[in-house]
Copies of this chain bind each other. A is one copy, B any other.
């Protein structure tokens, strides 16, 4: 391990890894540190939907264009990453059906239909696309552009890709704190101290200690998400199904992911009996015959939530050399490329998207208060 890098990125989840990729590709001298293994925390538990539309709440002004630009970045990334890293990100088209089983649910999907790429299907049409859906289906918003990827492989493709572009990766390197001295930062790790001109904090929901350490008062709270991975003898779904906050995602390897619970303020990754029951019930609401599906395994992870549900992306309010990128809640896989681009542009002092940076400032709460 060299003791000196231009940029040290703390955290090798999807966010830190994509930032490492974008910076290394822009020829910066990067070290990516992770306390455990690349992509092994929240990122591992994600379903991998790139849900720019489906995750967009009724009034989401800023989320949508940002998410959409990130979603589009994946179209090129999927081949680029494969070529460079030799890892397939499992990009899969098919789109999402957001289901409505009564009129009020249908009303709630109304806002989505504004988007040119979203289309309303009545119950009959839905059954034609996916015959196993419950008979009393009223209709669905069909979102063609909301594709999906395999999160761990995507994260590793970013990290290996960064490596190919010259970045250094250190796993099992936990960071205790960051100290400033003159123009340099000293990153204290279990493996010794590293000096850097710039530091990026991309430690997901595990950021609270470091944020305190660098004098930022915002804190993240975990929202645990548990999922069941299943196999079935029935013909496989062709689309991701979405109902309430839950979904069934078909994977390239023939398996299905039923996700995900939303357990607030829970730091454990264990799977509870109650959560299993809830997931099974939502799956049955969408597909009655799912009761026969076979359990293949579970996943669980902690979504990093901020006070208003939007991520923190940008410069430290008082410290030029520290960059923050965390709090991506339900959408870190989707938002990784656009987040990395923002950080890269800031660092290279390229023209950046001011509107987005304002929306994602880490001190936005205090600013609003005023």
Residues of A whose CB lies within 8 Å of any CB of B are 37, 85-88, 90, 92, 94, 150, 152-153, 156-157, 160, 163-164, 169, 171-174, 176, 190-191, 208-209, 212, 228, 230-231, 233, 235-238, 250, 252-254, 266-268, 270-274, 276-277, 280-281, 283-284, 290-295, 298
B residues near A176, Cβ cutoff 8 Å: 208-209, 212
B residues near A157, Cβ cutoff 8 Å: 254
A280 to B274, CA, bound (A): 8
Instruction: Please tell me how many copies of the chain the complex holds.
Output: 4
A233 to B268, CA, bound (A): 12
B292 close to A190 (CB less than 8 A):
no
13 contacts between A and B (CB under 8 A): A85-B254, A86-B237, A87-B236, A87-B252, A150-B253, A153-B252, A156-B254, A160-B254, A163-B235, A270-B295, A273-B291, A274-B280, A295-B298
Q: Which residue of B lies closest to A236 (CB)?
A: B86
B residues near A233, Cβ cutoff 8 Å: 169, 171
A190 close to B267 (CB less than 8 A):
yes
B294 close to A271 (CB less than 8 A):
yes
A237 to B87, CA, bound (A): 11
B253 close to A270 (CB less than 8 A):
no
B270 close to A294 (CB less than 8 A):
yes
Q: Which residue of B lies closest to A191 (CB)?
A: B267
B residues near A291, Cβ cutoff 8 Å: 272-274, 277
B172 close to A268 (CB less than 8 A):
yes
A272 to chain B, nearest CB (A): 6
B residues near A283, Cβ cutoff 8 Å: 273
Q: Which residue of B lies closest to A157 (CB)?
A: B254
A235 close to B164 (CB less than 8 A):
yes
B residues near A292, Cβ cutoff 8 Å: 272-274
B residues near A171, Cβ cutoff 8 Å: 233, 268
B residues near A156, Cβ cutoff 8 Å: 254
Q: Which residue of B lies closest to A86 (CB)?
A: B236
Are A85 and B236 also in contact (CB < 8 A) when A230-B273, A294-B271, A298-B295 are?
Answer: yes
A55 to B340, CA, bound (A): 45
A173 to B295, CA, bound (A): 20
B208 close to A238 (CB less than 8 A):
no
User: What 9 A-B pairs have minimum CB-CB distances, sorted nearest first?
Assistant: A274-B291, A270-B294, A172-B268, A88-B252, A172-B267, A87-B254, A271-B295, A273-B280, A156-B254
Given contacts A86-B236, A273-B284, 16 further A-B contacts (CB under 8 A): A37-B268, A85-B254, A86-B238, A88-B90, A88-B253, A171-B233, A172-B267, A176-B209, A191-B267, A228-B273, A230-B273, A270-B294, A272-B294, A273-B292, A274-B291, A276-B295
B residues near A150, Cβ cutoff 8 Å: 253
A254 close to B295 (CB less than 8 A):
no
B residues near A284, Cβ cutoff 8 Å: 273
A152 to B252, CA, bound (A): 12
Chain B CB within 10 Å — which of A208, A272, A284 has the most? A272
B270 close to A280 (CB less than 8 A):
no
A218 to chain B, nearest CB (A): 15
A176 to B293, CA, bound (A): 27
B residues near A295, Cβ cutoff 8 Å: 270-273, 276, 298
A160 to B273, CA, bound (A): 21
B280 close to A276 (CB less than 8 A):
yes
A155 to chain B, nearest CB (A): 10
A266 to B191, CA, bound (A): 9
